[in-house]
A and B are shown apart, each in its own frame.
Chain A
Amino acid sequence: DQQVKQNSPSLSVQEGRISILNCDYTNSMFDYFLWYKKYPAEGPTFLISISSIKDKNEDGRFTVFLNKSAKHLSLHIVPSQPGDSAVYFCAASTTGTYKYIFGTGTRLKVLA
């Protein structure tokens, strides 16, 4: 039972364009969502998070959008840079716990 899904295993984007990574969840108890970036043989690096009381959170080039009714969140990277090439994981949890449920990741490749 995959509670957090990233249906696109890979995505290629031209440098300077927008990258949109998507994530869907099924558990309505989730109220805290995060995006992590991961390079091979390294641990995930925290990028940005959003609480369910918001529908948007922005940090520099990264913006996370949350659509609670659709149980969907997305990460927008604008403009995309070659250094953004990595695997991106979304994660979800319930406030007060650190039981992060991770998606299976989307490999982003930004082409120069």
Chain B
Amino acid sequence: GAVVSQHPSRVICKSGTSVKIECRSLDFQATTMFWYRQFPKQSLMLMATSNEGSKATYEQGVEKDKFLINHASLTLSTLTVTSAHPEDSSFYICSASVGQAINSPLHFGNGTRLTVT
């Protein structure tokens, strides 16, 4: 089945530093990947849509200078949390669509737990 790999699974960083999260599609090519964020006991919120070879599309309220997204190849998208602060602590999850059909379900990575101290 389709596998989306996310790394690291857990990261702790100091306030003010930047953290990069990688999302890879292991057995398929993904022209589009999606980054979600989940706060404790809340739903997953779409942050941005990552498009291979072009700029990401950010959802309203998401700071694009804070959450830098790069989708340099058909199998890799990265999310960099710049100048991280404690309020950025959250569970970040990437996803990608496998099929070409309009309504192919998204497959998710295992997420990255970010803790900013």
Q: How far, in angstroms, from A36 to B111 measured CA to CA in the complex?
A: 14
User: CB of B34 within 8 A of chain A?
Assistant: yes
Complex contacts, B49 vs chain A, CB 8 Å: 98
- Using A102-B43, A104-B41 as known contacts, say yes or no to A44 and B102 having CB atoms under 8 A apart: no
**Cβ of B98 to closest chain A Cβ, rounded Å:** 10
Indicate the size class of the contact surface on chain B: 20 to 34
Q: How far, in angstroms, from A89 to B43 measured CA to CA in the complex?
A: 8
- Using A89-B43, A98-B32 as known contacts, say yes or no to A42 and B103 having CB atoms under 8 A apart: no
Identify which of B10, B45, B111 contacts A43 (C-beta below 8 A): B111
Q: How far, in angstroms, from A102 to B41 measured CA to CA in the complex?
A: 12
**Cβ of A75 to closest chain B Cβ, rounded Å:** 14
Q: Is the CB of A43 within 8 A of B4?
A: yes
Indicate the size class of the contact surface on chain A: 20 to 34
Q: How far, in angstroms, from A76 to B26 measured CA to CA in the complex?
A: 32
Complex contacts, B110 vs chain A, CB 8 Å: 41-43
Complex contacts, B42 vs chain A, CB 8 Å: 104
**Cβ of A99 to closest chain B Cβ, rounded Å:** 6
Identify which of B9, B91, B103, B106 contacts A51 (C-beta below 8 A): B103
Q: How far, in angstroms, from A101 to B4 measured CA to CA in the complex?
A: 20
Complex contacts, B67 vs chain A, CB 8 Å: none
Q: Which A residues lie at the B interface, using CB under 8 A? A: 4, 32, 34, 36, 41-46, 49, 51, 89, 95-96, 98-105
Q: Which B residues lie at the A interface, using CB under 8 A? A: 4, 6, 9-10, 32, 34, 41-46, 49, 91, 93, 95, 97, 102-103, 105-111, 113
